[in-house]
Structure 1
Amino acid sequence: MRILVLHGVNLNMFGKRDPSQYGTATLADIDAALKKLAKELDVTVECFQTNHEGEMVERIHKALGEGINAVVINAGAWTHYSYALADALAILPVPVVEVHMSNVHAREAFRHHSVLAPVCAGSVCGFGVESYLLGLRAAQTLVIKDAK
């Protein structure tokens, strides 16, 4: 099973950006935790981060022909306005799980709405790095469920 983890805009700044919201883990720490859990779950994880919306869309398009079984995405601020990402994710015939380190519902009003949510199987937020790990577990469960 292959799961693609997508990190969006500004997420390369984890560990430096607002530790009260995002903690002190770096993106490398998050990717290492994901790869460790992936090994336990017997899945392959590929992590990708970009600050360029078009590059993210291209990476999603590329996933279509790669045998990716699920996607876990933290799109950062793109979550709230990128219909381009929503449209790209909608093309994929695999489960998509949205994750966020902070509890977006306890923050500024603009963060309460996700334009990605309608094309995602579900979302996890507010648990720091654990949000990613829960998202990975959810993606694996959805793939197994769909295979039955």
Structure 2
Amino acid sequence: MYYFIQKFHSGWAYIALLVLVVAVVTFFSGMFSKTEFTSANRKIGLIALIVIHIQLLVGLILYFVSPLGFASLGQMSDKALRLTSLEHPLINIIAIALITIGWSRHKKLVTSASKFKTFSIFYGLGLLLILSRIPWSMWLA
């Protein structure tokens, strides 16, 4: 079971990153080109939100069944264990919270420019935080 969850979390991460990058590029291009915010833009934001929340859910399950997660919290002197048991989950939860805040805030806004700006800021910060804490040595191996 652990092996399946770990492989799913790693594989789904490619999809989550791709969808999030597409969303951020779409929102930044909409902001700079001053186009109208459409239902397609809204759907891109929603799909990114759903995909990233699925990644969070699988990651939380993995965190509690993995020997590199919650069980290794006491070994903070090891850089790799600190990344997988503390930094990666904590920073990614903050990133997903920012993405969720961006989604919630856009609903209250009226103008297209403000919607694109809100999405660009919150989804962009979330993407940067996620990219900063990916365990690249484990992921690409």
- TM-score (structure 1 length as normaliser): 0.27
Structure of greater Rg? 2
Greater length-normalized contact order (CA 8 Å, ≥ 6 residues apart) = 2
* Greater strand share, structure number: 1
* Greater helix share, structure number: 2
